[in-house]
Amino acid sequence: QTDSFIATLIPRSSFQIAYTEEEMSADHNKAYSNYTSPLGAAMLMNRLFTEGLIDDEKQSFIKNTLKECKTGVDRIAAPLLDKEGVVIAHKTGSGYGNENGVLGAHN
């Protein structure tokens, strides 16, 4: 359902949601089937926040959730954390480690 809905908002070639979080947690290899491009993610965020696709309450919830994200602060956000006036709003995943210690789906 989510995949079909997002396909109405951004180009199909820019993303795929094949499995739920629960399914990926049960079989970590499934995580590789869910993806988005940076442009696809930016397009989706732009549409959500500029075209009135969701009400103000839902927009606030999403924005606050992204601002409160505690995972991955040592990654893309790291160089900006001590900059005055910069607000970091992001969502990153921690992925899964395999039996060889290789981390997959790390974003």
From first to last of its 107 residues, what are the pLDDT tens digits of the chain? 899 999 999 999 999 999 998 999 899 889 889 999 999 999 999 999 999 899 999 999 999 999 998 888 888 788 988 899 998 888 877 777 778 888 777 66
Enter the pTM of the model.
0.77
Both 67 and 48 in a single domain? no
Q: Contact, 90 vs 107, CB < 8 A?
A: no
Both 2 and 49 in a single domain? yes
Helix runs in the chain, H state only: 2-7, 21-26, 38-50, 56-67
The answer to the question of residue 67 being in a domain is yes
* Side chain identity, residue 92: T
pLDDT computed for residue 81 by the predictor:
85
Coil, helix or strand for 15?
strand
Backbone φ and ψ for 6, nearest 5 degrees, come out as -65, -30
Domain count, the chain: 2
Using CA atoms, how far apart are residues 97 and 106, in angstroms rounded to an integer?
9
